[in-house]
Chain A
């Protein structure tokens, strides 16, 4: 079966989670390709590099909140300055283990964030979300 949505980008400083989540995504065959980024900076530089290259931009970004140096919210601050060709294509969901009420509120209030998913990632939950936004 062909995957419906082409590229997903995972942004997480935690190598273990990056490994787990990319494996979960590959087993559930939700995407053709997974782009792994270990920091917000790495993700931003990927996006800047492919800013005019829509085919290589991710359709979907799963973003962690707690990261050293640049956290998820700081990433979003810079992300929103990208041209619409990028921000319209890449939908963002937060993927975090946070239970902090402030973090949750802040994530849900961000206009670029379609949903806050909680770790551990459940493929059914992700599929439901994708179905809603890509159908």
Chain B
């Protein structure tokens, strides 16, 4: 592969220097020279230069003044200032206001200047590459957002229509008319819908910035119980809420966390249990909220307890998605919450959550 063409503009009011520079570097770089800042600007207007070297001591416009003047119009080229040993003030000024990359003392050493140009070009490339990457990333992000939005509409809408048809079939008393087929369609549709919902929850949890509003736990928990026990009225909830002080937190994530835990508590009951129950305790203090959700369901095997918060972990017996508790954990991480679990297969499972009160 050929070495990239590096375009260097050198501005100096001494013609001899321009000649010397050209002679010394024309083999390595594509060189443009200008006898004044004004001339240099003309070249900049026509040629996309990578590196600009300017002499400080020039009549009319100094090197630093020139660099300052092009900061907004030509921000990309990397600047190198050539200056005499005594020009401390100019140097300080250049570093503070001229956005220069290097300064080289006159008379220059060919090797030093060569290295500086090489490094300057690398810096230029890094800057441009980074900018391109950012543009690319923003585009990808945008596409992802649109994709997620379309999942929540286009992909889900026809599925929900199918679920509506199943409801209608039930209402017309035809649910058992084709053996178990309608039931199977219902199971499949619900499963797919569940995956879509979890995917969106996971994505939103990752993307959304925490928004703090006041949270009324009594209202929230009762709404969630209503929502998730809709299809299963067998489980009895006993809710005890002590909220004497206001609680502020990210209601979206708290809803996701409690929703997943409550729906799990309903889903993983023992089939033959006569008295299916879930106890929910909430205690709000000025600093935290502590929530306990305890069920008398099928429980979790000891050797699985460590893994239940990992993505796509599923036990062989219980057909979960492997997403619910993973999302709970991710959401808690975002709001500095904690979770612990104790469980055995006789008494059921207890989750304890602590979430900071942010006000």
Contact = CB atoms under 8 A, between A and B. Distances in A.
B257 to A, nearest CB: 16
A1 interface: no
Contacts of B208: 101
A98 B172 contact: no
A69 B168 CA distance: 29
Given A66-B153, A98-B152, A16 B168 contact: no
Interface in B219-253: 230, 252
Contacts of B163: 119-120
- Output the residue of B167, B200, B230 with the most chain A CB within 10 A: B167
B153 A97 contact: yes
Contacts, number: 56
A121 B196 CA distance: 18
B197 interface: yes
A82 interface: no
Interface string B31-59: 00000000000000000000000000000
B164 interface: yes
A24 B204 contact: no
A28 B165 contact: no
Contacts of B158: 16
Instruction: Tell me if B's interface is mostly helix, strand, loop or mixed.
Output: helix
Interface string A46-72: 000000000000000000001000000
Interface string A96-125: 011111000000000000000001111100
Nearest to B151: A99
Nearest to B196: A99
B156 A24 contact: no
A30 to B, nearest CB: 12
Interface residues on A, range: 20 to 34
Contacts of B167: 24, 120-122
Contact of A120 (B153, B164, B172, B200): B164
B108 interface: no
A122 B230 CA distance: 10
A80 interface: no
A16 B172 contact: no
A99 B157 contact: no
Interface in B156-177: 156-158, 160-161, 163-168, 171-172
Nearest to A64: B157
B161 A24 contact: no
B159 to A, nearest CB: 8
A45 interface: no
B164 A99 contact: no
Contact of A20 (B152, B164, B230): B164
Contacts of B171: 24, 27-28, 123
A85 interface: no
A33 interface: no
B175 to A, nearest CB: 13
Given A14-B157, A97-B156, A99-B152, 18 more contacts: A17-B157, A20-B165, A21-B164, A24-B171, A27-B171, A28-B171, A66-B157, A99-B196, A99-B197, A100-B152, A101-B204, A119-B161, A120-B163, A120-B167, A121-B164, A122-B167, A122-B230, A123-B171
16 contacts: A17-B157, A17-B164, A20-B161, A20-B164, A24-B167, A27-B171, A66-B157, A97-B156, A97-B157, A97-B160, A98-B153, A99-B156, A119-B164, A120-B161, A120-B163, A122-B230
